[in-house]
Amino acid sequence: MMIRILLLACSLLLASELPVSSLSSQQGKDHPWHPHHIDALPPDVRNYIAAICKGPAKAQHYFGTYSPTERRWRINLEYLQCGGLGAFRRGNQCLDVDFIQVGSRFRLASKQYRDCDF
């Protein structure tokens, strides 16, 4: 019990010593619309995004979600910003695409229009 208290006290002491500039720089690194949300995806999924976008693309945090139990990436195109997306939206519905892992690659498994969150 005493070790836990000491560890907690040390971590609080270290956290209080962080300069404000390092804390603010951490907040700026994870902008809601950012290309790194796409860059972190597997190459097969990134190539699909590059094929539908005309120019640079940015995405929000929950643009791509991974289910380890299903070995599936779901890509929600309503959280993507790039040229050429009009063909993937129908009124208030947006296309969601699923990629399933096959070996070391991901293949397109399904496309389905669902209500957009905006």
Element (H, E) at 67: strand 64-67
pTM beyond cutoff 0.85: no
pLDDT at 102: 97
pLDDT at residue 89, rounded to an integer: 84
The amino acid occupying position 35 is: P
Tens digit of pLDDT per residue, the chain (118 long)? 554 443 444 443 333 333 333 333 444 566 788 888 899 899 999 999 999 998 899 999 889 999 999 999 999 998 999 988 878 888 889 899 999 999 999 999 999 999 987 6
Q: What's 110's DSSP letter?
A: E
CA distance 100 to 108: 7
- Give residue 18's region: left, alpha or beta (phi > 0; psi -120 to 50): beta
